[in-house]
Amino acid sequence: MSCSNRITYFEHLSDEVFYEIFEYIDGWNIYKGFFNLNSRFQNLIIHSPIPFKIKLYSLSQSEVKHYCNNVIVSNKHCIISLYFENESFINELFIYCVIDSSFDRLESIFLGEISFDQLMTLFFYLKSLPRLFSLTIHPDAEWGYDLSTTYRMIFSLPTLKYNKLSLFSDVDEDLNFFVPLAINEPFSAIEYLIMDHNCSLNELFSMFRHTPQLRHLSCQNLIESESSIDTKKSVILSNLTYLRIGNSQIGFDEFEMFIAEISSPLQVLNIRQYMGEDYLDADRWEQLIKIYIPHLRRFDYEYYQLFMPGYEETFLYKNINRFSSPFWIERQCFFEVKIKDNDMIYAIHPYKNLCLDIYKHAQIAKHFNQNIAYNSTQHFVMLNQQDIDKPSTLFIPTSQLSINGISSAERSQSFIDKFKSTFVAAQFTRLNINCTEIPIGILVNILYILPNLDSLKVTSLPFIEEDCLFDNDGEMRYLTSISNKITKVNLESTSDISQVHFLLYLCICVQYFQVDVPENMNLEMLVRVILTKIEYYIPQLRSLCLHILNANEEIIYQLQKLIDTEHLLTNYIIKRIYNNIFLKWN
């Protein structure tokens, strides 16, 4: 582009560029920010096919009136979404216009704090919308309300694909929404159903008979049915691939029956539970998955429990190691125990979550034969069976212990004594510990009593005194350093290079070291400290990952210059992978 053709003023941008910009801005802000600038923007807004996203919230009554008259009414053919913060904005809009078929591009509606009476009235108008695909409802709390009518009206919307209904947790205990399918009643087109409230199995089965196209189901609280479950009429959901249960309060026998009855090709299963340890039976899960959900690609399960002395040892011996069998390895799952104060969480997660935690990025993981890919939204995705069968892809039995805090009144030794049976019972191979409220002594002791660790992640180490390695606890640190087998170390929230020195001293078998580098830390000094320690006490270190905010090629150049000038390494590679500087040598 020549100098004379360069764009130097914002308004010189083309109409097409502004159309793109407007797609990211709420309709009110488009109108308020651009309409009165000049005639060009007035024509652009009035006569262009801009897809307006209308939000009615935090506006005065005069602003709402102005908004409705000058933006909504005149642009209703271009509106693709409506967001109402509460019922008053809906009433205000209906003074100036009615939501009907003239909103022929309207695809999404959010209704906040709306009464059920007003909602029933509004459904009459919503039926006329030719492109209403998404409806989210957050109704006002009403004790004991019968939701069956509400759901029947939702199912009657002919084009609806997505529905979310959320209720306050303290008012949904007495809900009733059993929705039997009437003779000759048409099926719903809904594919995504989010039920953010209590729901029994009987009620859920009644919903399924209306939604044969269901693909994605999320139920916040799955509770026991008061009456016997009717399984005479089979329910086949041949498209259901995603199931999330925020809190399963039914027994595993009922859950098995539920999975068997829906006959779905589930690929993603996500469950949380706060009572009933029968779900933590690895053998029952294995049989259930093999028989009824063989296409399962992602399995997430969490069981929350308060600490009970004497319980964990027997429980863990009996259950945790069974999740390291070949079946779970093939499905790339690992078992985790999380400790936070007096709360314990037993969890099963996809191995890809752990791989991301260790290696920061898929491209770094590939250097260690961990083949994990990104999908279009930049989330890690599970490998397909062909990838699993490749010899380059290595999955090892893994169990993780995560410690996120201890009670402020609890002493270091009492914490160790309290959970020692847990630490010993399970053959943990990875430790993830946040040391914000945990003294160094606890970290060292835990490392000492976990001899099977292969991987360690430490967050927020406290400041390390210069003579820390040689104080009264020096012998314990020395014994810990020579006994552990940790090969992968990740240090987050670093504040001082002494923390790096301390952690490397504890983990003399480290092969891969990853550290978050703060902006105020001398990067060259950090790299020099790490690389000069190789010869003395970390001879197996072969890879270094530096996570740096706004990493760039200039940093690469400066580090290469440092390494070559001071002869710190000879045969090495260095590259930038987003905000990570990856260094590997022989």
DSSP one-letter string for 525-583: HHHHHHHHTTTTT-TT--EEEEEETT--HHHHHHHHHHHHHTT--SSEEEEEETTEEEE
Q: Residue 211: helix, strand or coil by DSSP? A: coil
CA distance between the termini of the chain: 47
Asked if 532 and 568 count as a contact pair (C-beta separation under 8 A), the reply is yes
Orientation of helix 412-425 relative to helix 311-319, angle to 10°: 30
d(CA 75, CA 77): 5
408: which 2 tokens? 């402020």
d(CA 518, CA 154): 51
Residue 78 DSSP symbol: T
Q: How far is CA 583 from CA 207, 458, 496, 498, in A?
A: 55, 21, 21, 21
d(CA 462, CA 78): 56
543-573 per-position pLDDT tens digit: 999 999 999 999 999 999 999 999 999 999 9
Residue type present at position 543: S
Closest-CA residue to 429 (of 324, 307, 342): 324
d(CA 267, CA 255): 17
Q: How far is CA 42 from CA 14, 52, 198, in A?
A: 15, 15, 49
Chain center to CA of 560? 37
d(CA 376, CA 380): 10
d(CA 269, CA 38): 54
Low-confidence residues in the chain, pLDDT < 50: 1-2, 371-394, 470
Angle CA 146–90–75, to nearest 5: 135
pLDDT at residue number 379? 32
Asked if 371 and 393 count as a contact pair (C-beta separation under 8 A), the reply is yes
Q: How far is CA 377 from CA 254, 372, 374, 380, 381, in A?
A: 35, 14, 8, 9, 10
Each domain of the chain, given as residue ranges in start order, spans 141-266, 429-585
Q: Please report which residue ranges of 379-522 form alpha helices under DSSP H.
A: 385-389, 412-425, 440-448, 474-483, 497-506
Orientation of helix 497-506 relative to helix 523-532, angle to 10°: 20
379: which 2 tokens? 């989330």
Q: Residue 325: helix, strand or coil by DSSP? A: coil
Chain center to CA of 439? 29
For β-strands 298-306 and 343-350, DSSP reports them as: antiparallel
Closest-CA residue to 456 (of 357, 535, 530, 380): 357
d(CA 295, CA 243): 13
Q: Counting every residue, how long is the chain?
A: 586
Sorted by sequence, the CB contacts under 8 Å of residue 265 that are 6+ apart come out as: 238, 239, 240, 241, 293, 295
d(CA 109, CA 85): 11
352: which 2 tokens? 């890809």
